Structure 1
Amino acid sequence: MSDQATTDTPTTPPEKPTARGRGGRYYSKLWFWILVAIVAGILLGLLAPGVARNTKWLADTFLQLIKVITGPVIFCTVVVGIASLGNLARAGGLAVRALVYFLLATVASLALGLVAANVIQPGAGFSAPPSAADLKQAQAQLAPATHDAGVIDFITKDLLPTSFLQPFVTNQVLQVLVLAILTACATSMLAPALRERVVGVVDTASKVIFGIIKIIMWVAPLGAFGGMAYTVAVFGGGALGSLGLLMLAFWGTCAVFVFGVLGAVAAWSGFSIFKFIRLIKDELLIILGTSSSETVLPRLLAKLEAAGASRQTVGVVIPTGYSFNLDGTCIYLTLGALFILQAGGEQIGIGTQIGLLLLMVLTSKGAAGITGAGLVTLAASLQAFGGEFFSPEAVAIGIALVVGIDRVMSEGRALTNCIGNGVATMVIARLQGERDDERFQAVLNDPSLVDDAMSRMSQAS
């Protein structure tokens, strides 16, 4: 491991479990209360659906609180991570490795979705027409997808901000990332003494922001409760029955990707995917309740750094991955597209399917990790592919077929996206020589150690 990496990762040796650790009281853990909230939400949704339909505001409020600090967290983390290197060539090498990894993961997840759709044929024989309400909602989802989805439009509207503060106001993760990279590069070119002062100021601000995150996490169980209660009340078992095969196909494909593809990548990098999932179980439970991977982004940044990845690797890979490495969304795109074709009685050859896959390699980039983004991206991809295979009417009807279960599918997308970005961070950190393997293995074997490390990091001056 390089000297720089050593200084950027927590250097305190892993501690033995304390009374708050493995043998501590489980009811003092965040994951326990989130799990209780999810179960309570399910029960409320089943027993009192009328009341449960009015609990969505709890999940929305929690997501709103997270969005307030998401932009500043990404900005501070990226600036400190890159500028502390003092070497733009090294930062460029990190970015190249990350983007190559993201491209390979995107192609693998899109291809897996195509294979699942062809093998399972979830839309074959589908005859249930969409409801009028679903058709109306589908038209609303199609509205933002009608603009040009080309490369130029992506650069001018999605990638580049219109002002320095605008991305923070509108919570545009990709644009905040662009500003952070520019600021980090400019800071890196300063004289060493001045650069250290600037990095110190930004680093101090990031500690304040992570303190805010710690406070916000106290209400995470309420957000999980509200989100789960609303989901069960609105999309309960009977309402989801007609599209059950599609949901099973999607969740099963995500499981194959996580435990098969990501499991193999993790094993190659020297760790177990099962232990890694146990390490981030708190974050996954929050996602399960809120149906959004954005709710755990700030906490995931802190946890992976405390687990042994260098600050610069975490600061570059996680924010970039939230726009460029959405594995669950990619599975959903190809599986959903072929489901819509099959439901309409249409079939396309393997060559055309590969063309659709290549298009979705582009359209999947920049999709935000929030509820509904996958549905909008699917609509945009189908429209961009052309009228020969997907007429506007067929797209509207097809989106209406899946819009009712999109929230359930969104949970699978968000969970897979989070795990995929977490694995990517630890793999790239090792490729960079910036992963403390002794610490990483220690926290994998005893996840309570990472909570202690996160507390020390937030209290450090």
Structure 2
Amino acid sequence: MKGFKISLAWQILIALVLGIVVGAILHNQPEQREWLVSNILSPAGDIFIHLIKMIVVPIVISTLIVGIAGVGDAKKLGRIGVKTIIYFEVITTIAIVVGITLANLFQPGSGIDMSTLATVDISKYEATTQQVQSGTHSLVITIMSLIPTNIFAAIAKGDMLPIIFFSVLFGLGLSSLPAEHRDPLLKVFRSTSEAMFKVTHMIMRYAPVGVFALISVTIANFGFASLWPLAKLVILVYAAILFFAFVVLGTVARICKLRITTLMHILKDELILAYSTSSSETVLPRIMEKMEAYGAPKSITSFVVPTGYSFNLDGSTLYQSIAAIFIAQLYGINLSVSQEILLVLTLMVTSKGIAGVPGVSFVVLLATLGSVGIPLEGLAFIAGVDRIMDMARTALNVVGNALAVLVIAKWEDQFDSQQAASYELSLRPQSAE
């Protein structure tokens, strides 16, 4: 058919389905699986993740500096920052409370014979847990980690918080310079930002291959058999994420005269990609691009999105609260009201304190469970299905951060409703002439 073209969303969806099929076949053929996974599939998936990691830092630095220099007012920027942090804290606290409430209501861990559950070695996460064993220490580490001793070292390691801190200060410093000194450098950063978004579009052509490889490896390694004993937990996590997305975030969107379904439609490609790869980083550049196109100013988009990846992980905090109660129920531990309040408070701090740490959800849980007397060994029972739940919570993180941009833009009265209406119109299928 002339002019026929499969959209990126469909390409990724097809790759996801094919990856599940191939992974399921390989799971039952251990000889071929080991060679294919280690020599072809894992490298193919890692290439995509590496490509995304390669562009995230330059995009964040260039867009933040351009956005902040555009604000040009430290007082205004401080107001945006305070509103952003307040919004993040309120939403993530609601996520924790919703998770604990649903886990208590549906009791996913009750009546499970622990001898039927497979265990996974979680020792690799324990080494990173010592620094976050106490909430106070974790908060201090977070504050100190904001300020880089060497910005180039932070860039090399991809530490997002110090990169954001430096970029904000640099943008403010640049905005205070006379025009003849400011404009040439600002033009360089603006061109860098635009060039990196073009690079993002190039990398996205490889996305279906990366998705196919990543999901194949996941299914090939654990199969579907390990899901059944923990089906109640997986179903509850997915139901909780859908409830939070459509009811909680839907209500927030409605208050701001937005529609959560419209936002999801705009981000359909990014949601499928984030779900398939279990990585929010893969869609960070495109969220910034789309929210700016939808009517949010660059100054807010470039600040809220990268900050949200450290402080506004709705899906992760929702999952962590459900998992904590699940493990307590698994061991027959009935938490008192005071213990559950302590769990909420501890999660509020620890979930912010270790942003960017590999296996962040497990590290948060390891740092949290001990505070209310839940055995840490219980995490070994859910580690096998963690990837399946990670896919859903990553998608919710994406929706939550995109909505946060629009909420702050509305709150600052800087949202361009006419541009949003035009963008929505452009998304509607064109009638055939």
Could you state the TM-score of these two structures normalised by the residue count of structure 1?
A: 0.86
Aligned to 2:113: 127
Give, in angstroms, the shift of residue 59 of structure 1: 2.1
**Residues 204-225 of structure 1, C-alpha deviation per residue, up to 9 Å, x if partnerless?**
1112222221211110001110
Aligned to 2:226: 239
Give, in angstroms, the shift of residue 367 of structure 1: 4.5
Equivalent positions of 1:51-450 (< 5 A) are 51=33, 53-54=37-38, 55-129=41-115, 134=120, 137-149=121-133, 150=137, 151-156=139-144, 158-368=145-355, 372-383=359-370, 385=371, 389-390=373-374, 394-395=375-376, 397-447=377-427
Query: In the aligned structure 2, how far is the partner of 1:446 from the partner of 1:238?
Result: 44
What SS does the corresponding residue of 2:258 show, helix, strand or coil?
coil
For structure 2, list consecutive stretches of 5 or more residues without a partner in the other structure.
Answer: none
Equivalent positions of 1:442-461 (< 5 A) are 442-447=422-427
Give, in angstroms, the shift of residue 441 of structure 1: 2.6
Query: In the aligned structure 1, how far is the partner of 2:305 from the partner of 2:74?
Result: 19
Query: In the aligned structure 1, how far is the partner of 2:329 from the partner of 2:37?
Result: 33
Query: In the aligned structure 2, how far is the partner of 1:290 from the partner of 1:364?
Result: 21
Q: Does 1:44 align with 2:31?
A: no
What SS does the corresponding residue of 2:301 show, helix, strand or coil?
helix
Could you state the TM-score of these two structures normalised by the residue count of structure 2?
A: 0.91
Query: In the aligned structure 2, how far is the partner of 1:252 from the partner of 1:217?
Result: 30
Give, in angstroms, the shift of residue 406 of structure 1: 1.0
Query: In the aligned structure 1, how far is the partner of 2:213 from the partner of 2:252?
Result: 35
**Residues 355-405 of structure 1, C-alpha deviation per residue, up to 9 Å, x if partnerless?**
11011111111554787321222112224x26xx13xxx20x211011111
Query: In the aligned structure 1, how far is the partner of 2:207 from the partner of 2:189?
Result: 27
After superposition, the Cα gap between the structure-2 partners of 1:448 and 1:170, relative to the gap in structure 1 and judged at 3 Å, is: farther
CA contact (8 A) 1:83 1:195 kept: no
Query: In the aligned structure 2, how far is the partner of 1:223 from the partner of 1:368?
Result: 24
Bigger Cα displacement from structure 2, 177-186 vs 218-227: 177-186
What SS does the corresponding residue of 2:122 show, helix, strand or coil?
helix
Which one-letter code corresponds to 2:184 in the other structure?
A: R
**Residues 128-164 of structure 1, C-alpha deviation per residue, up to 9 Å, x if partnerless?**
2487861xx21211221122451222333x4332311
Give, in angstroms, the shift of residue 314 of structure 1: 0.3
After superposition, the Cα gap between the structure-2 partners of 1:124 and 1:247, relative to the gap in structure 1 and judged at 3 Å, is: same
CA contact (8 A) 1:375 1:406 kept: no
Query: In the aligned structure 2, how far is the partner of 1:60 from the partner of 1:448?
Result: 35
Query: In the aligned structure 1, how far is the partner of 2:220 from the partner of 2:329?
Result: 29
What SS does the corresponding residue of 1:284 show, helix, strand or coil?
helix
Which one-letter code corresponds to 1:361 in the other structure?
A: M
CA contact (8 A) 2:160 2:356 kept: no
What SS does the corresponding residue of 2:413 show, helix, strand or coil?
coil
Which one-letter code corresponds to 1:276 in the other structure?
A: L
CA contact (8 A) 1:223 1:289 kept: no
Which one-letter code corresponds to 1:36 in the other structure?
A: I
What SS does the corresponding residue of 1:31 show, helix, strand or coil?
helix
Which one-letter code corresponds to 1:86 in the other structure?
A: G
Query: In the aligned structure 2, how far is the partner of 1:294 from the partner of 1:369?
Result: 11
Query: In the aligned structure 2, how far is the partner of 1:96 from the partner of 1:274?
Result: 28
Query: In the aligned structure 1, how far is the partner of 2:184 from the partner of 2:338?
Result: 56
Query: In the aligned structure 2, how far is the partner of 1:32 from the partner of 1:282?
Result: 8
Runs of 4+ in 1 over 3 A off after TM superposition: 50-54, 129-133, 366-371
**Residues 178-224 of structure 1, C-alpha deviation per residue, up to 9 Å, x if partnerless?**
11112112222222442333322211111222222121111000111
CA contact (8 A) 2:100 2:321 kept: yes
Which one-letter code corresponds to 1:294 in the other structure?
A: E
**Residues 323-380 of structure 1, C-alpha deviation per residue, up to 9 Å, x if partnerless?**
0100001101111111111111111112210111011111111554787321222112
Query: In the aligned structure 1, how far is the partner of 2:55 from the partner of 2:116?
Result: 39
Query: In the aligned structure 1, how far is the partner of 2:258 from the partner of 2:12?
Result: 27
Aligned residues: CA RMSD:
2.1
Query: In the aligned structure 1, how far is the partner of 2:266 from the partner of 2:143?
Result: 36
Query: In the aligned structure 2, how far is the partner of 1:26 from the partner of 1:242?
Result: 42
Which one-letter code corresponds to 1:92 in the other structure?
A: G
Between the aligned residues of both structures, percent identity stands at 32
Bigger Cα displacement from structure 2, 437-446 vs 49-58: 49-58
Which one-letter code corresponds to 2:90 in the other structure?
A: L
**Residues 199-252 of structure 1, C-alpha deviation per residue, up to 9 Å, x if partnerless?**
222111112222221211110001110111122222322111111111111111
CA contact (8 A) 1:128 1:242 kept: no
**Residues 300-333 of structure 1, C-alpha deviation per residue, up to 9 Å, x if partnerless?**
1111111111101101110111101000011011
After superposition, the Cα gap between the structure-2 partners of 1:258 and 1:374, relative to the gap in structure 1 and judged at 3 Å, is: same
Bigger Cα displacement from structure 2, 203-212 vs 362-371: 362-371
Query: In the aligned structure 1, how far is the partner of 2:291 from the partner of 2:56?
Result: 16
CA contact (8 A) 1:372 1:410 kept: no
Aligned to 1:15: none
Aligned to 1:458: none
Query: In the aligned structure 2, how far is the partner of 1:366 from the partner of 1:225?
Result: 33
Give, in angstroms, the shift of residue 53 of structure 1: 3.9
